[in-house]
Structure 1
C-alpha cells in the first residue's frame, strides 16, 4: 500500500465536512524569488528598484512583516518549505558540496506538500529551480508528488540564466544557448556562462507558468513557481565579472551605474512584471477569487553578482545578508493575494515561516496534516481571523557553513549562537532593536538559558550534517 493511502482515505471520509468541498477548493500559486532581500521591494521600503506590480499586489492583499525563510541558503530552505519540518528535523540541511548530492536529496520517506494535497485531487506543477534531487534519485520532483516539472534540478545549473538545456519532466530539452564552462565544478555539475545568449530561462518559466494556469484553470491546482531571479550566476561573476544576467537593462539602461548594478535592478523589475502577468491572467480567466497567490523569497539577499549592495540596501533595516542567521539572512518579504478572501491593504505581524506552508495547505485543502512536522497553519491570518491564529513557541534555524551557527526566535526575542552548540549566545529584543545592534544577553541570563534549551530540543543529529567538535 502507498504511504499516502491514509491521506486518501481521510479525504474520502472527511472531505465533505472539510472547510472546502472539492468543487470549490482554491487553487494555490506559491511564487518564490531566489535571494531577494526584505528591502528589495517598494512596498518594503525600496526606493531605487521599481516593483510596481508587487507593490500593487500588496495593496490588494496582505503584507507579512515577520515572515521567515526556512534557512539562509537555497536547498535547506526549500526542504523546510516542502516538508514542513524546521532545520533541526528536515533531511536537507545545507547545500551538499562538490560531489556527493545525497545529503541534498529528499528521500522516499520524506513527505512533501505536493504529495499531501494530491490526495485531495490537486494537480501540482513545479516550474523553475528544484535543488532537492537529481534525475534517477528519490528526490526528483516527479517522485515527490509533482505531476509537472519544467526547469533546473541542479542548483549550479540554475546559476546560468542562459543554459544549454532545461528539464521537462525527465526529458532534457536543448536550448539555443552556448555555454563556456567554468574551470571548477560544484554540486556534481559544471556551471559556466553563455557566449551565445538566446533563450533566457526566466522568460521560459514565466511563459510556462501561464500555460500551466491556462491548462488547469478548472482546478484545483497547485503551482510552485520557483524563480531564479535575482540569484547571481556565480560562475559568470568569476569568469566575466558580471553575474547579473538579463536580456536588457530596461529602465535602468541610462543609469550611471556599473553593469552589474543595472542587471541586478533589471532582473527584479523583470520578475515584478511577470508576477503581474500571472495576476492579470487569473483575473482574465475569472479564477482570481478562487486562487491564493503567495509571493516570497528563499533567503536574504546576496552580494555575488559583483554589484554594489549599498546602492539598493536590499536588507532594509535588517542586519546581515544571505548565509547570516541575523534577520537580514532569514526574514523575507511575503505577500498574500486572494481577492474576496484576503482584505486589501492589510498587514500582519504574525510570526510565520516556510514550514507553516504545509499546515496551511492542509487546512486550505481539507487534507490530513502529516505526522512529525513543525508547522502551524496561517490560514486564520489570511482570512483576518487573528483571534483564531495559533502561534509557535519558537522558530529554529541551523547553518553548517562558515563554522556553523544556529538561531531561535521566541516572542520578541532572538538568540544566535556561533558556532553551533558551543559558541556564546547573543540575544536581541527585536521589538526594540530590529537591526540586532545591541546584544543584551548579559542582562537576561534566564532568557539565554531558555534559548539554549530550545536549541538543544530542536536539533536532532543527522549523520549527513556534522557539528564541528561534536
Structure 2
C-alpha cells in the first residue's frame, strides 16, 4: 500500500511538470479582414450593415477599440503582425510591387509567429491574402513557418474576386473567372480546421473582403435597397465576411474545440473610403466624426481596428476594454500562450498581452510608433494619451490629446513645445535607418503607381 501511494504521488508530481501548460495551450486563429472600418460592424455602432456573427463574437468575448494595426496599408501592416516588429524596425514599411506578380518579400531569416508556433508543435496555415513574398522568394508563406497556404499570394491579384486562378500551396489552380474566390478560400479553411481537431493549430485567416474591387456574387439583403451599386456591394461584402466568420465559429463548436481556441478578429488598416465619400458617408464609417482619417494616413481612423477577442472561460465575455495594444504584440503573445521559447534575437518591439486578453492589466510601454512610405514618408507616435503626427520629414509635428480629443481635431503642438520635442526625439529613437525606406517629403512620380497597387 505504501509503495502504491508513493508511486501515485510520484506520478502526480511528474504530471505536474509536463507542459501544463500542454493542456492549456490554445489553438489560435487570427482573422484579418481587409480595409474594414471600425464602424462597419454592428457591435461598433453600425446601423445599416448586418453583422450578427461578429456581434455575437463580441458579446461572447471582449471588444478592443484601441487595437492598432501595424500601419495603414496592406503589406507592411501584415508584416508587422507576422514579425512582431513595429514600423521603425519592420523590413516592409510600404506596399512595393514586384513584377510580374507579388510584393517585396520578407528577407531571409525573418522570424515569424508561424515559425514560433510551428516549432512549438502547432499545425500552421494561412488562407486568403498573403502579400509578403512569392513562392520563389524568402518571403513565401511556405518558407516562413506555414504548413499550408491557399488563396492569393499577390495583393494586386487579390483585387479580383472572380480570378482566373488561386494558389494551393505553391501550385497555381486554374479557375473559370466566374467563381467567387472567397467561397473557395472559406471552404479550404473549414476543411483544414476540420483536420486539426486533435492537435494544436494556428490559422491566419486573411480574408480579402471588403477590399476593392468591390465585387460580390450576391447582394443578398441589400439588393433592393435604394442605394448605389457600390454601396450595395460594399454592405454585402461586409455581411459575407461576417457569415464566413460565423461558419468558422460554428465548426469550432461542432469539433468541440471551441473552448480551447483563442480567436482574434481585426482589420489590416482603416477604411479605404473618405468619410464624406459615397460609402463612407452612408455607413458613417468615421462614427459621427469620432475617428479622423482612413487608409494611407496615420490618424486614428487609419490605425484603430474593430478588435474582438474570444476564448470561452479565458477572455471575459461582454466587455469593452479600452487598453491600447498593437499588431506587433501578437508574436510574443502567441509565444507565451504556446509556451514557446523565443530566440535571443527575437524582436523586442512587442509585449505579450495575454494578461490583457484575460481581463488583466495592459503591459507598460513607452510608446507606439508607426511610419509609412507611400508618397511622403509619414510618421506617428502615441505616448500615453498624447499622439504626435508628422506628415512628412519637413512637415511640422502635430500634437493631439486623445483623452479629450479622440477625433484629432485640435492640434495643440504650439501649447506644448516640450511634448513635441519629446515626441520627435522618440520618433528618432524608434526607427532603424533602412536604405529601402529613406525619409522623403514627396515621392513625385512614384506615389500614384504605388497607391494604385495598394487600393
Q: TM-score, normalised by structure 2?
A: 0.89
- What is aligned with 1:176? 176
- What is aligned with 2:264? 294
**How many Å apart are 1:119 and its aligned residue?**
1.4
Q: 343, 352, 373: which one pairs with 1:400?
A: 373
- What is aligned with 1:269? 239
- What is aligned with 1:313? 284
* Residue 250 (structure 1) aligned with residue 220 (structure 2): yes
Please state whether the residue corresponding to 2:117 is helix, strand or coil: helix
Distance 1:48 1:20, change over 3 A: farther
Please state whether the residue corresponding to 1:66 is helix, strand or coil: strand
Moved over 6 A (4+): 100-103
**How many Å apart are 1:315 and its aligned residue?**
3.0
Q: C-alpha deviations, 1:76-108, integer Å up to 9, x for none?
A: 001100000000101011101464989721112
For 2:241 and 2:387, the matched residues in 1 are separated by: 32
For 1:435 and 1:390, the matched residues in 2 are separated by: 25
**How many Å apart are 1:469 and its aligned residue?**
6.3
Q: C-alpha deviations, 1:130-184, integer Å up to 9, x for none?
A: 000012111100000000000111110011111100011111011121xxxxxxx
Q: C-alpha deviations, 1:246-267, integer Å up to 9, x for none?
A: 0011100110111110000000
* Residue 431 (structure 1) aligned with residue 403 (structure 2): yes
CA contact (8 A) 2:102 2:153 kept: no
For 1:167 and 1:100, the matched residues in 2 are separated by: 15
**How many Å apart are 1:16 and its aligned residue?**
8.0
- What is aligned with 1:231? 211
Q: 323, 331, 338: which one pairs with 1:365?
A: 338
For 2:79 and 2:255, the matched residues in 1 are separated by: 32
For 2:441 and 2:95, the matched residues in 1 are separated by: 20
CA contact (8 A) 2:37 2:267 kept: yes
**How many Å apart are 1:307 and its aligned residue?**
4.6
**Matched positions, count:** 422
- List gaps (5 residues or longer) in structure 2: 1-14, 443-455
After superposition, residues 134-153 of structure 1 pair within 5 angstroms as 134-153=134-153
- What is aligned with 1:12? none
Deviating more after overlay: 373-382 vs 95-104: 95-104
* Residue 207 (structure 1) aligned with residue 187 (structure 2): yes
* Residue 385 (structure 1) aligned with residue 356 (structure 2): no
For 1:19 and 1:433, the matched residues in 2 are separated by: 47
Distance 1:409 1:324, change over 3 A: same
Q: C-alpha deviations, 1:10-64, integer Å up to 9, x for none?
A: xxxxx98697433442101110010001111111111111111101100000000
CA contact (8 A) 1:22 1:121 kept: no
Distance 1:272 1:121, change over 3 A: same
Distance 1:288 1:129, change over 3 A: same
Please state whether the residue corresponding to 2:398 is helix, strand or coil: strand
Larger Rg: 2
For 2:99 and 2:127, the matched residues in 1 are separated by: 25
For 2:201 and 2:254, the matched residues in 1 are separated by: 17
* Residue 349 (structure 1) aligned with residue 333 (structure 2): no
Q: 319, 329, 334: which one pairs with 2:302?
A: 329
Distance 1:269 1:101, change over 3 A: closer
For 1:227 and 1:42, the matched residues in 2 are separated by: 19
